[in-house]
Structures are given as structure tokens and as C-alpha cells.
Amino acid sequence: MAAGPLGFNSYLGRKPVVLTFLTALATVLFLIVSGISHIYTAQQQSLAARWSGRGASDLKAQHFIDAVADFRTALLYNRDNYSYQLSLAQALLGLRRTDEAYAYLINLWDRQPENGVVNLELARIAAGKGDTWRALRFYHNAIYATWPGDEEAESRNAHFELIEYLLGIHADTQAQAELIAIDANLSEASPLQEQLGKLFLKAQDNQHAFAAFHRALREKRHDGPALAGAGMAAYGLGHYLAARRYLDEALQISPDDQQSAEWLRRTESVLTLDPYQPQVRAAERDRMAIQGFTVAGSRLKSCAATGEAAAIEGLRKNWADLKSQISPGALRRDPDLFNQTMNLTFSIERQTSRICGPGSDDDQALLLIAGQHEEN
Amino acid sequence: MSALRSMFREDRYFLMISVFIGIFSGLFVVCFRYAIDWSRIYLLGTGAMPSRTRLLLAPALTGLVISVLVIHLFPRAKGSGVNQTKAALYIFNGYIPLRTALGKFITSALAIGSGQSLGPEDPSLQIGASLASAIGRRLNLSRDRMRLIAPVGAAAGLAAAFNAPISAVLFVIEEVIGRWTAGILGSVVLSAVSSVVVTRWFLGSESLFRIPVVELQRPSELIAYAVLGIIGGLASVAFASGIEHLRPRCAKMLPWTHYLQPAIAGLLIGAIGAMGAPQVMGAGYNYMDEAMHGRFTWQFLAILALLKIVATLLSFVSGTPGGMFAPTLFIGAMLGAAVGGAEHALLPHLGWSPGTYALVGMGVLFAGFLRVPMTSVFMVLEVSGNYSIILPVIVANTFAYLISRTLMPTAIFDVLSRQDGMELPSMEEQREENILRIEDAMQEPPKNILDAGDTVEKALRAAEGSQDEVLLVRLRPSGWSCIGLSALRALGQAGKGEQTLDSVAAGEAIPLLHPDLPLDMALRYFDRWPLIPVVSRANLRELDGVIAERDVLERYRDFAGE
């Protein structure tokens, strides 16, 4: 350098030396920029962490607007961070901005199709939009996806959510299939047996529901909800005595359980009105038939009062004709009269139910008895 | 030793220097990006949505500082930097002071960071060119090399800023160099690639946007993209016309107002931000990304496109240093997604993805506003990494380009050059130039063509019946020569009638011309040969015609009359 500009230029004019000099200069600059880059990256990461921390707090407190702003800011500093994007999508879902959330989630899904949280959120969005095909696809993905933390529990929760969704869209058969799949993998002592039983009950699979509640009760004999569920399942299976026993017990544990009380009333009705029960004495049977016939007559009256008299005129006439013939002695003497009485009772209940809507507990009980009698 | 000498041959040496230019440009652009981010953090705060006070004050006050810096310290830092680089190539023999790079670095980082509606790409291009120019001067490169070195640096700077080497190379060829020259291509590509490698080392290899799934479901959707091309073309013309009309008016204002112009622009842009559209501030890449992922309604996207045009006009015509690449992309993305959304609202059966429309919209504005049709297509392909989008891009860009050229014949960069008192070559003008070729002036082949084996007497007999003063001679085994009638007569009178032409008048073979060559090529030879044969490229012995100086001059005269 002391040689002045001309000397320096002539020095640089030697090409290998120039290239060596440029390489050295590039290395020095590279190191300097690396240092600057280190400072920059550290600052960006710190800002990203700070804003995402705020976002997480806001998300937890369900302050979704703030959470969205926080996570957006965090993403300014760490654009491709997976968890920030996922949290942002969840905050957007909290604000019901599903289209925006979907855009983020589908992008995350592209990056990690095996992520359980993303699949579950996508399934919920699809379910909300009524896109059953996509909802089922993402729910199934979520069930078999990878989850942070307790993978088995998260996967099972996703499975339960899928079943709830299926029940919501009245796909009971599919729901039953999914429930049987869970049932097969659930230990008998699992505290989830009660939940499983309830879902079976919703899916109208009383057999499996009763079994699940029964397993739950083996673990916890005085579990009110499990007793109530077992009672309902037994009722559905036509095991009215067992149903009464379970429901009674449930009400003893939870006297304020209105639902169990309601089911118990129905059960009592059935037990009072069902002349086909085994081990019922003849006198009792005839009394039940006459009581059922009387309930059907009351039903005809109440239905006629609603303005539907013309539609049930024929039934009223038949009922009145038969009424004069039946008595406990006549029924005992003439088995055909007993059958005729029960058939007319069932016919009245069915038709009035179609014309005038559901009737009293006794009417419901008679309909149930009719159904079971025909099945047998 | 000879291997070493060969290695350091001038052209190879220049290629090696190009790699270093790329590395240095990449390093500076990385720092430039950091500087923009730091400037944003310290001026607007760390949040995505700055407070109203900051939105109003930061761009305005920073505008004041920028105007002082530009007026007193870095006058050449004004504007985008593309034209200045082009001027360095064509006017200043590749000279761009290093101070310009420094000024551009500081003022652009402040401007973009404070929220002015400008982008970092054009300044990066100028910074790269300026660094390259400084290196070239230090290495005492020849004048020819010095002229070439600015575009090499420009490509490196742009590639680093855009993380897209192919688009950068094409842009530099289309807009900065303004013509296709194979001689510089290698250096430009090398510098662009090396700068991108450096940038990716520090900033990561992620593209500017998270590209959603891009697909064309039905060919009929191309009509929808054509509509986008038409609307984009009109928007480009509106944007460019705004600059064309407002920029000279602002420049002509009283000198003291120049201190206030960037501040006023900043204040107005800050007001737009404070009123609910902070998306238009700065380069806005993150918002383009969000638009691609369907974050905004199509109505809001249309408003953002309009506001961005206004904001960019304010920033650019006020003389604030910064580039127009990012705003162009922003307007294109918002407009594209808005048009796509509107089309979908009107025709719900139409396949709709905001990401696809936004990407095509970017290309549309590139083609319509910057008028770089090749770059516009490759830019979208390079950014999206998806070749299935090529058809919509080409359709939409073609419409936008044609509309823009029809409604505004002069491209925006040429407009800016002329406003600055410069006339720089442009590829667009070159495309429109009607070049005269040899075939436009050549005459039918003469009837009398002599053979080098003919005797002088035979040649004289053949020449007597002709009107031609000069006769063509076919040489053996190939080639052509010519001989004047007077020279032939002189040979006959000298008693050389029995001798063959090649023995007495073995003239130098005339260089051959072909019909497709530019007409001016013929002018090079008339001082030595009065008549030049024009031969087919497929068969050099097949004469397509002949051309004389008079034919060329007459054709030029006629052309001037046309």
C-alpha cells in the first residue's frame, strides 16, 4: 500500500494474487456478516418467542383477537415455525374465521400429514362445513396420527369425537362400527367404559351399551351415571325388571336425576301394562289387558279432542263395541277375546301416535310392548 | 506455465471475478435485508400492527431524514436504481460510485423500514452494480469489461434480493442490458447463482411465499385468467401513467419542497396505515403470502391493490429511494386474488384458488407495468416452483402486455430515463425496430457470370452483350470474385486474350453475404469490391442475388421515406 495507487494497481494486476486477495476479502466479509447474522437471528428468535408466549397466554384465556395478532407478529420473526402457525390457526378458529384457519392448517398438513392436531382441526372445519367425506378422512387421519404427549389418549379422544360427529349426522351404523373398534381396544377396567356405554346407547346399540355399563359397574359399583345407563340399556333390551333395579339404584344415589326418574316411570308403566311378561298370573294378566285397553280408550278421547275425531272414528267405534264385551271373567274364558283386546289396544296406540303425536308414558309403554310382542 | 496462463485468460478471469462479484453482492444484500428489518423494528416497533402515533410519525420523520441525506450526501441514490445502472452501462462506461451503493443502502433501508411503499429489489440491483463497478475499477479492467461489469453486479444484487436467479438474469438482460448478448451471459449467470448461494446460506432457502397448491382444473378457466390479464393491463397503465404525470411535476416544484416531499408521502402512507390498511406499508411480502392463503375477502384485496398503487405513487414520485419490484408484486397479488374472488362470486362453479390467482396476478403486473414479458413468466415459475401454472401465466401476461403496450407505448423505465434526460436502449424498442436486411436491397443474379477457367477473350465476348460494368467470376473450387469491364478490355488489348481469368486476374475472393444478414454488413466491403454476391446458406455455390453500394443506399433512402 505504501507504493501508492499505481504500485497497488500493478500489484493487483497479477491475476493469481488478485484472486487470492479477493478470496481472503470474501472470507473476512463472510465472517463479519456471519457475526451480524448471529445477532440478527438471536434478536428475531427472541422477538418470536416473546410474541408467541403472549399469544399462548391469550389463546389460553380465549382472547382470540389478541392471540391472532400475537401469533401473526411471532410469525413475522419466524415465518415457518410450525407451532406458531398451528396456534394462529387455532386462534382463528376461536374467532370462527375458518377459511383463514383452513388455509394455514392445510399448509401445515402438507408439511406434516401425520400431525394429529392438524388433522383433527381440519376434520372439525370440514364437519362444520358439512363436508362429510373430508371430515371422515381427517378424523380417521387424526386417529392414526402422531400426537404430542399421551398419544393413545389423544387418539382415543379423536375417535370419540368422530363417533359424536357420526351420531350427529345420524350415521348410527358407522358410529356403532367405530364404537366396536374402540371397545375392542379398551381394557375392561378403563374408566372410559361408562363413556363408551353412553355412546353405544346413543347409537342405539343397547346390547353393547349394557355390556359397557356393566363393566364400568364392576369397577365402581355405586356409579350413578353407569347405573342409570345400564337401566336405560336394559329397558331398550326389554329387560324391564333389571332396568327397574338399576334405575332404582341410580335414583337412590342421585335422587335429583330427572332422566333416571323418567326412565323408571316408563319402566314401571311397561311392567304395569305388559300382560306378556313371563311368570304373570292369569288374573294379573287380564287386569293388565283391561288396564291397557282403558289407557287406549283415554288416548282415543284425547286424540279426538285435538280435532282428529274423523280420522279415528272407526277405532272409536271398535273400541266401544269391544268395551261392552270385556271383563276379567270373559278374558279368562275366551283367549281370542284377550288377543282381540290387545290387538285393538296396540292398533289404537299406533294410529293415534301417527295422527296425534306421542302420548303419555302409558301410551309409550303400550307402543313398546306392541313392538316387542310383534318381534317375538 | 502455459496451463496457468490459459486458466487466467481474460475471459476466464472475468468469469472468476463474476463469482466474487456475486459473493460480495450477496453479502451486502444480506446486510441490506437485516438493515431493513432493524429499521422497521426500531421505527415502527416489533408488533405486526404498530400504534397510530408510530404509523403517522415514523414514515414522515424518517422521510425528512432521507430527503436531507439524498439531497446533501447521496444524490444518486434517488429513485429505483434500475435506470441508473443502465445509464452506467451505456453512458458512464460502467462507472457507479461506491458512495451510491452506500447511500442506497442507508436511505432505502430507512425508507422501506419506516413504511414507505417501496421494495428492496431494485436498490439491491444498484448496490450489486455499484460494488461490481468498484471492483472493476480497482482491478483496472478494460473499458469493454467495465461496461459489462455493472450488469453482472446488477444480476447478482437482484438475484440475492429476490432469491430467484433465473428471473434476475432475465430481468437484467431484458431491462438493464436491453439486448441479448451471449458474451456476458456466462458472467451474469455465475454472479447471480453465487449471490443466491450466499443469500440462502444466511437467510435460508425458503421462497418468498409459501406457495399453496396450484392447479388448473379446466381449460375453460383460462378465460378467467384472460380477464385477469385485461384488468391487470389496465391497472398497469393507470399505475405507470400516474408515475409519468406526477414525477416531473414533483421534480419541478420549488427546491425547498424536495426536503418535504418524502415526509409528506410518508405521512399520507402512514395515514392510510392508521386508517386500517397497514398492509400497504413497506414491501408487504408477508401480506402477499397471506393473500395467497385466502386471508382477505376479494373486496378488501381490491381495496388493498388500489391503495398500494396510491401509496407507491406517493413514495416513488417524491423521490424516496426504493424499488418498484415489491410494490408491483403486491399490487399484482392483491389484484389477482381479488379478480379471482370476484369471478368465483359471480360464477361459483369456477375453480378458485386465491394462491393461483395471486401468483398469476404478480406475473400480470410484471408484464404490464415493468414490461418484461420473459421475466414475468419465469418469475412466477421460479417463485411457485410449479410448471402447471405456466398456461394461465402466459395467457394473462400476454393480455396485460398487449394492453399496456397499446395504451402506453413507452415502457415505464424508458419514461423515467427520458424524464431524467437520458435516451437509453431498450429491448422493447428493439423488438419493434424494423431491421433492413440484405434481401431487402439485393438484385437478381446477373445473366453473365464468368468462370475463373474462361479465357479473357471468351469473357470479353460474353461481356460485350451485357450492360454490367462489373462482372462476377465463379472461382474454383469455390468462392466468388469480380472484374470490371474496363479491366477486362485492358487485358485483351495487352494481348492476354488466350490466358485464363484466374491466371491474369486472380483477385481475392469476395466475402460472401447471405440474404438474412443486416443490410449494413454489406457496407463494410464496398471500398474493396463494387459488387458482392449473395449466396444461399444451404449451398454456397448457389447465387441468390448480388448487391452493390448503390442498391444499399437507395434502399436506405426509400426506408427513410417510409
Report how far apart the first and last C-alpha atoms of chain B are (Å, whole number).
Answer: 60
Q: Yes or no: say if B359 and B226 are a contact pair by the CB < 8 Å rule.
A: no
B555: pLDDT strictly greater than 60: yes
Together in a domain, B410 and B464:
no
Q: State whether A26 and B295 contact (CB < 8 Å).
A: no
- What is the enclosing helix (H) or strand (E) of B543? strand B543-548
Topology, domain A194-273 = 1.25.40
Can you tell me whether residue B532 is helix, strand or coil? Answer: strand
- Sequence ranges of the domains in chain A: 194-273, 283-375
Q: Provide the pLDDT for residue B30.
A: 95
pLDDT band at B300 (very low <50, low <70, confident <90, very high): very high
What is the Cα–Cα distance from A142 to A122, expressed in whole angstroms? Answer: 9
Both B236 and B174 in one domain: the answer is no
pLDDT at B182: 65
* Closest chain A CA to residue B50: A73
DSSP B443: B
A13, A26, A40 member nearest B20 (Cβ): A26
CA distance B59 to chain A (A): 20
Residue B530's CATH number:
3.10.580.10
**CA-based nearest residue to B280, from B55, B81, B120, B57:** B55
**In which residue are the cell numbers 441514490 written?**
B77
Residues 47-66 of chain A with CB under 8 A from chain B are 47, 50-51
pLDDT digits (tens, 9 = 90+) for A309-350: 777 788 888 898 888 888 878 888 888 888 889 999 999 989
Residues 6+ apart with CB under 8 A from B44: B50, B54, B55, B58, B113, B114, B115, B281
Q: Is B142 found in the same domain as B14?
A: yes
pLDDT value at position A2? 39
User: What span, in angstroms and rounded, lies between the C-alpha atoms of A176 and B153?
Assistant: 69
Cβ of B294 within 8 Å of Cβ of A79? The answer is: no
B15, closest residue in chain A (CA to CA): A19
Cβ-contact B522, B438 below 8 angstroms: yes
d(CA B402, CA B226): 12
Whether residue B115 has pLDDT greater than 70: yes
Residue identified by cell 464496398 is: B526
Distance from the B277 Cα atom to the nearest Cα atom in chain A, whole angstroms: 15
In the three-class reduction of DSSP (H, G, I as helix; E, B as strand; rest coil), residue B114 is classed as helix
Q: Count other Cβ atoms within 10 Å, centred on residue B342.
A: 18
pLDDT for the residue numbered A3: 40
Whether cis (ω within 30° of 0) applies to the bond prior to B477 is yes
What is the spatial distance between Cα A146 and Cα B109, in angstroms, rounded to a whole number?
Answer: 44
Tell how many helices (H) and how many strands (E) occur in chain B.
24, 5
pLDDT in tens, A72-91: 999 989 888 899 999 999 99
Determine the distance in angstroms separating the CA of A140 from the nearest CA of chain B, rounded to an integer: 23
Give the model's pLDDT for residue B4: 54
User: Structural domain tally of chain B?
Assistant: 3
Tell me, what's the pLDDT at A13? Answer: 52
Same domain, B442 and B555: yes
Q: Looking at beta carbons, which residues of chain B come within 8 Å of A72? A: 48
Residue B16 scores a pLDDT above 70: yes
CB of A15 within 8 Å of a chain B CB? The answer is yes
Nearest to B127 by CA among B40, B36, B21, B48: B21
Contact at 8 Å (CB) between B545 and B444? yes
Does B349 lie in the same domain as B232? yes
Q: Which of B378, B405, B426 is the last residue of a domain?
A: B426
Per-residue confidence band for A11, with pLDDT thresholds at 50, 70 and 90? very low
Tell whether A29 is within 8 A of chain B (Cβ): yes
Taking CB atoms and an 8 Å cutoff, what residues of chain A touch B34?
A: 36-37, 40
Rounded to the nearest angstrom, the minimum Cα separation between B140 and chain A is 7
Q: What are φ and ψ of residue B266, in 5° steps?
A: -60, -40
Q: What is the ipTM of this complex?
A: 0.79
CA angle A105, A108, A109 (to 5 degrees): 85
Q: How far apart are CA B151 and CA B146, in angstroms?
A: 10
Confidence of residue B433 (pLDDT cuts 50, 70, 90): low
- The three grid cell numbers given for residue B467, joined into one nine-digit string: 450492360
Find the distance separating the first CA and the last CA of chain A, reported in whole Å.
112
Please indicate, yes or no, if residue B216 is contained in any of the structural domains.
no
B271 and B302 together in one domain: yes
Q: Chain A: nearest CA to B30, how far in angstroms?
A: 8
Same domain (yes/no): B193, B225? no
Closest to B30 (Cβ–Cβ): which among A37, A50, A100? A37
Q: Does the distance separating the beta carbons of A37 and B41 come in below 8 Å?
A: no
Determine what percent of chain B is predicted with pLDDT higher than 90: 44
Closest partner residue to A15 (CB to CB) among B8, B30, B202 is B8
How far, rounded to the nearest angstrom, does the alpha carbon of residue A79 sit from its chain's CA centroid?
Answer: 36
Chain A residues touching residue B17 (CB < 8 angstroms): 22
Q: What is the pLDDT of residues A243-264, one digit of tens each?
A: 889 888 888 888 888 888 888 8
**More confidently predicted of B213 and A59:** A59
What is the spatial distance between Cα B179 and Cα B482, in angstroms, rounded to a whole number? 37
Q: Do A72 and B46 touch (CB under 8 A)?
A: no
Contact B277, B299 (CB under 8 A): no
Residue finishing a domain among B176, B203, B230: B203
Kindly determine whether residue B286 and residue A13, on different chains, have CB atoms separated by under 8 Å.
no
Q: Are residues B492 and B413 in the same domain?
A: no
Q: Chain B within 8 Å of A99 (Cβ-Cβ)?
A: yes
pLDDT tens string B347-404: 877 767 788 899 999 999 999 999 988 889 998 888 877 787 888 999 999 999 999 9
Whether residue B420 sits in one domain with residue B466:
no
Q: Which stretches of A144-205 are DSSP H helices?
A: 151-168, 172-185, 193-202
pLDDT tens digits, one per residue of B28-50 = 999 999 999 999 999 999 888 88
DSSP H helices in B354-450: 354-365, 373-384, 390-407, 412-419, 427-432
Q: In angstroms, what CA-CA distances link A235 with A170, A208, A292? A: 22, 13, 19
CB contact under 8 A, A104 and B30: no
Q: Which residue of B has its CA nearest to A15?
A: B8
**Which among A40, A47, A104 has the least Cβ separation from residue B46?**
A47
Distance from CA of A7 to the nearest CA of B (A): 12
Query: What does the pLDDT read at residue A10?
Result: 52
Mean confidence (pLDDT) of chain A: 86
Which residue of chain B is at minimal alpha-carbon distance from A24?
B20
Nearest by CB to residue A13, choosing from B37, B140, B294, is: B140
Residue in B27, B41, B214, B352 to test binding to A, most A beta-carbons within 10 Å: B27
**Which residues in chain A touch residue B206, judged by CB atoms under 8 angstroms apart?**
79-80
Give A349's DSSP letter. H
Say how far apart CA B126 and CA B100 lie, in whole Å.
8
**C-beta atoms of A75 and B286 within 8 A:** yes
CA–chain centroid gap for B398, Å, is 17
Q: What are the pLDDT digits (tens) for B268-284?
A: 999 999 998 999 999 99
Residue B461 and residue B535 in one domain:
yes
Of B426, B452, B467, the residue that ends a domain is B426
Best probe of the A interface among B44, B138, B198, by most A CBs < 10 A, is B138
| Range 73-92 of A in CB contact (< 8 A) with B | 73, 75-76, 79-80
Rounded to an integer, the average pLDDT of B428-450 is 80
Asked if A51 lies within 8 A of B138 by C-beta distance, the reply is: no
Which residues in chain B are closer than 8 Å to A103, comparing Cβ atoms? 212, 293-295
Cα B64 from chain centroid (whole Å): 33
B16, A19: Cβ pair inside 8 Å? yes
Cβ separation B293–A100 shorter than 8 A: yes
B177 within a domain of the structure (yes/no): yes
Taking CA–CA distances from A51, the nearest residue in chain B reads B47
Provide the CB-side half-sphere exposure for B230 (13 A, CA): 6
Closest CA to A260 of A213, A220, A212, A296: A213
Asked whether the predicted pLDDT for residue A138 surpasses 80, the reply is: yes
- Interface membership of A9 toward B (CB under 8 Å): yes
Distance from C-alpha of A273 to C-alpha of B71, rounded to nearest angstrom: 103
Are the CB atoms for B117 and B315 separated by under 8 Å?
yes
If you write DSSP's letter for every residue of B343-374 in order, what string do you get? HHHH-TTS---HHHHHHHHHHHHIIIII--HH
Residue B536 pLDDT greater than 50, yes or no: yes
Distance from CA of B358 to the nearest CA of A (A): 14
Report yes or no: B16 and B152 within 8 Å, Cβ to Cβ.
Answer: no
List the CATH number of the domain containing B256: 1.10.3080.10
Check whether B8 has a pLDDT greater than 70: no
Residue B391 CA, chain-centre distance (Å), reads 23
Distance from CA of B295 to the nearest CA of A (A): 5
Dig out the grid coordinates for B521 from the structure.
454488413
Residue B37 falls within a domain, yes or no? yes
Give the mean model confidence (pLDDT) for residues B478-496. Answer: 83
Longest Cα–Cα distance of chain B, Å, equals 105
CA dist., res. B26 & res. B40, Å (int): 21
Is the per-residue pLDDT at B1 higher than 60?
Answer: no
A141 touches A113 (CB < 8 A): yes
B450 φ, ψ (degrees, to nearest 5)? -85, 160
Distances (CA, A) of A74 to A71, A269, A313: 5, 64, 75
d(CA A206, CA A200): 7
Q: Report if residue B208 sits inside a domain.
A: no
Count of CB atoms situated within 10 Å of the CB of B432: 10
Residue B366 lies in a domain: yes
Residue A161 has pLDDT above 60, yes or no: yes
* Residues in chain B within 8 Å Cβ distance of A110: 213
Residue B237 · residue B404 · CB < 8 Å: yes
Are residues B536 and B490 part of one domain? yes
Is B548 part of any domain? yes
Instruction: Give the closest residue to B199 by CA, choosing from B383, B22, B15.
Output: B22
Place of cell 385466502: B294
Q: Which residues from chain B sit within 8 angstroms of residue A88, using beta carbons?
A: none
Using CB atoms, pick whichever of B13, B24, B294 lies closest to residue A15: B13
Q: What residue numbers bound the domain in which B370 lies?
A: 221-426
Q: Is B497 within 8 Å of B455 (Cβ atoms)?
A: yes
Query: Which stretch of A109-113, B65-69, B332-336 has the lowest confidence by average pLDDT?
Result: A109-113
Q: Could B212 and A40 be called an inter-chain contact, meaning their C-beta atoms sit closer than 8 Å?
A: no
Same domain, B452 and B403: no
> pLDDT per residue over B204-251, tens digit each?
877 777 676 666 677 778 888 999 999 999 999 999 999 999 999 999
Asked if B295 lies within 8 A of A103 by C-beta distance, the reply is: yes
- A/B interface, count of CB pairs below 8 Å: 79
Which one of A37, A80, A99 has the shortest CB-CB distance to B206?
A80
Kindly identify which residue of chain B lies nearest to residue A47, measuring between CA atoms.
B46
